[in-house]
């Protein structure tokens, strides 16, 4: 029953999603196209978010130089210094972006935190998980993922 929620096919495209990092720099998610992206919406006040952070960091460290990376999107109103201190306290080095609290993003619905979207190297949202993920869950999903083939009749 591994990754039941991540296996739900989604069709949204992430190519045009603007992001702002913790320093105020703007970037588009399409600049990361060509790798699998694990886009994780989280907040500092969310215990399940904190529990999954070492798993996300481990996944990121193992894959960033090759085929995948994690992008964290802090989904709360928090001061920049407080957020930077939090990231240092938890040894988080994957890219972190900020967002006002939202229940919807360009990637899809965010019904609760944490919510993680998996974006294919082609820029398509192929999965969503509401609740914590592990490195193993993500790696197994990517390993077993097959593009949805459509046939016309």
Strand partners, 132: none
Residue 121's domain spans which residues?
18-144
Q: Give a yes or no: residue 24 inside a domain.
A: yes
Please count the residues of the chain. Answer: 153
Q: Give a yes or no: residue 1 inside a domain.
A: no
Q: Give a yes or no: residue 66 inside a domain.
A: yes
Q: Give a yes or no: residue 3 inside a domain.
A: no
The CATH number that applies at residue 27 is 3.40.30.10
Write down the H helix ranges in 18-72. 47-63
Q: How confident is the model at residue 15 (pLDDT cuts 50, 70, 90)?
A: low
Q: Which is more confident, 148 or 72? A: 72
Q: Give a yes or no: residue 58 inside a domain.
A: yes
Q: Give a yes or no: residue 69 inside a domain.
A: yes
Q: What does the pLDDT read at residue 98?
A: 95
pLDDT value at 26 more than 50: yes
Q: Count structural domains, the chain.
A: 1
Kindly state the average pLDDT of the residues 34-41: 96
Q: At what angle do helices 135-144 and 47-63 cross, to 10 degrees?
A: 50
pLDDT value at 22 more than 50: yes
């Amino acid at each position: 029953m591994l990754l039941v929620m991540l296996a739900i096919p989604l069709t949204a495209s992430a190519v045009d999603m603007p992001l702002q990092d913790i320093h105020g720099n703007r970037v588009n998610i399409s600049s990361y196209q060509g790798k699998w992206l694990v886009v994780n919406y989280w907040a500092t006040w969310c215990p399940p978010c904190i529990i999954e952070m070492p798993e996300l960091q481990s996944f990121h460290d193992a894959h960033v130089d090759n085929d995948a990376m994690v992008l964290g999107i802090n989904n709360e109103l928090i001061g920049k210094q407080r957020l930077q201190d939090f990231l240092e306290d938890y040894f988080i080095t994957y890219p972190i972006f900020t967002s006002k609290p939202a229940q919807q993003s360009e990637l899809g619905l965010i019904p609760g935190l944490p919510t993680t979207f998996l974006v294919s190297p082609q820029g398509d949202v192929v999965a969503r998980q509401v609740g914590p993920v592990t490195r193993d869950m993500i790696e197994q999903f990517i390993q077993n993922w097959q593009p949805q083939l459509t046939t016309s009749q």
